[in-house]
Amino acid sequence: MIADILGITAVVAGAFFMFVGSVGLIRLPDFYSRNHATGKSDTLGIMLVILGLMLIEGLTLNSAKMFFALIFVFLTNPTGTHALANAALHSGLKPWFRKDKGKEGEPCTGK
């Protein structure tokens, strides 16, 4: 019962971080900033969801397989992010910088 409650909490928290990753992919101004959203929030969100599902499932063979999926996401999601960012850098995509320094109020628009 306690494991169920903890699991559901972790799953809902993971869904929140996945939502943040998705919104960040739309709101942030340029490609390199969007990489932050997918590389961090999505990794944590997916890890939390799988961890919660493991807690609900209990100690079975399926749980061990889910643990493999968790390790796999933990290792490959940052690597995939890095590969895409590296490809963008090599093909000459320039990062976006804040134009007027010190003016925090400026909204970040794409391009």
Binding mask 31-70 for another protein (x = CB under 8 A): xxxxxxxxxxxxxxxxx-xx--x--xx---xx-xxx-xx-
State phi, psi for 62 to the nearest 5 degrees.
-60, -35
If the CB atoms of residues 6 and 88 are measured against another protein, the closer one turns out to be 88
Least distance CB 45 / another protein (angstroms): 8
Identity at 66, one-letter amino acid code: M
Radius of gyration of the CA atoms of the chain, in A: 18
Residue 111 binds another protein (CB under 8 A)? yes
Residue 10 binds another protein (CB under 8 A)? no
Q: Burial of 21 by CB count in 10 Å (0-12 exposed, 13-18 middle, 19+ buried)?
A: buried
Residue of 9, 59, 89, 100 interacting with another protein (CB under 8 A)? 89
Alpha carbon 15 to its chain's center: 11
Residue 6 binds another protein (CB under 8 A)? no
